[in-house]
Amino acid sequence: MGEQNVVVPKQYFYSGKTGPDPDGLKRALMKSGELAVARGCSAINLAVPKKGNLDGIMEEVLGEQACDLLQKNNELPLDSITIYLVTKRVPISFEGPVVAAWADMEQIKELNAHYRTKDLIYLAWLDEELAEFKRAFPVSEEI
């Protein structure tokens, strides 16, 4: 018997803490790596509203040099996975999970509708944004 293609449904996750949350970002990146490996993807898409969002918490978690590479090249090659930067002006170019950090619901809906988005992990800035995400994606799970 030949192998059958199994379609794995898109999964949705969120960090329960809003605002600046370095630990939530770390968990989101770890989860996206697990999802990418499970799906056989070599890409993680890191979506932020604009490149300026790479300062601060992103630098704290990824390091200044890594964030500089993301700003300059829109990608950060790691061992077996590459993180690709996605902004409102830089579209998704690679299939894989999306970590959406501090995006508004308009950007979240665009990311979710993109055919290359395999899973979506959301880091909300405001409590209202997190509540809206949970209403829009009731099957989402907290990481």
Q: Domain segments of the chain: what residues?
A: 11-142
Tokens representing residue 62 in the block: 């990824």
For 41-95, write each residue's pLDDT tens digit.
999 999 999 999 999 999 999 999 999 999 999 999 998 999 999 998 998 989 9
Number of CB atoms found within 10 A of residue 56's CB: 12
Closest CA to 53 of 1, 137, 123, 111: 123
Contact 35, 81 (CB under 8 A): no
pLDDT digits (tens, 9 = 90+) for 3-28: 555 566 899 999 999 999 999 999 99
What number is the average pLDDT over the span 92-101? 95
Read off the pLDDT of each residue in 113-137 and give the average, rounded to a whole number. 96
Please state the pTM of the whole predicted model: 0.92
Residue 109 in tokens: 């809906």
pLDDT score at 1: 46
Give the pLDDT of residue 77: 95
Query: What's the Cα-to-Cα distance from 138 to each of 6, 13, 47, 112, rounded to whole Å?
Result: 24, 10, 21, 14
* Range 11-142 classified under CATH 2.40.50: no
> What residues form DSSP beta bridges with 60?
none
Count of helices and strands (H, E) across the chain:
5, 7
List the Cα angle 85/7/97 in 5-degree steps.
Answer: 15
pLDDT of amino acid 3:
52
Over 60: is that where the pLDDT of 2 sits?
no
